[in-house]
Amino acid sequence: VFVLDEIDKLAIGSQGDPSSALLEVLDPEQNSTFYDNYLEIGYDLSKVMFIATSNSLNTIQPALRDRMEIIDISGYTMEEKVQIAKKHLLPKQLKEHGLGKDALKLGKKEFEQVVEGYTSESGVRGLDKKLAKLVRYAAKSIAMEDEYETKLNSDLVVDILGPQRFSKDKYQNNEVAGVVTGLAWTSVGGTILFIESSLSPGKGRLTLTGNLGKVMKESASLALEFIKSNHDKFGLKSDVFTKWDIHIHVPEGAVPKDGPSAGITMLTSLTSLLTQRKVKKSLAMSGEITLRGKVLPVGGIKEKILAAKRAGIKEIILCKDNEKDILEIKPDYLKGLSFNYVDHMLDVIDLALTNQKVKDAKKV
């Protein structure tokens, strides 16, 4: 077995193009007669199993990528990180620092605190460093012959590691029209995001802020056009779109956001705003839209579902085609969650909005 680590780092230089040389090596139709031009010797590589790793497929030469079988491995979930830390990382650090297994102990709550409050990564390298810092606290106390708590609590973790660097998003109330909870996938796992919309007197302009990418901007335009063409179904007058300006914002403007998963969230936000109807409590959604009203499936479902559960979400709206992704998730992760599967954007509105108006509703 040959492991080619981080094959996406291959670069073309003055000495040649190594990725082109690998075309013959990795092609099972040719590698039985591979000839090394440098050593001027032929090799039979047909019995070698090549495993290549990569952080990104974008920088791999297309011809080389075509010769590989791609296996996508998602980042660890919070639950998986806790088990890895408990069973492997903490015992390893205790051993490396010359301590017994009873020298330091953390409960599940403390492990989760370290994972969520002090790391933001797809792997566990940063988590390993934080656990090493906790173990050094025990090692120093033993070396200085100081008394210390072998069972760390939340306050002690903060004393050793300092204030938490990261905070997880929590579901917010539904008292304001136009604020909807969406689900997003990131390289470090799933997260929730809030899409906010507001109205102001104007001439029908659409403004988008929040460091949005091209795909999300298109989703917002699609959602607005769908509402315009179906205004009668939402009980709206056609002149609404020429008398009011609409502003859509996604908080945390310093963080770039893009991807085809916020379409139905944009639609729900705009519909809630224009009709001044409340969004259901503890509801989140993810899905893309088309101009004719069809809801399309999205990826990263497992990570999104776990993020929703951590944020206190109870009900989730997904595309009908994403039901198969839910069936692949362990039932333990789905406890306390209910799912609604939709095919059309009107179904999303029926499920997401109540008939109750928000307080101080604007007359649109």
| Cβ atoms < 10 Å from Cβ of 299 | 16
Which residues are catalytic, by number? 261, 304
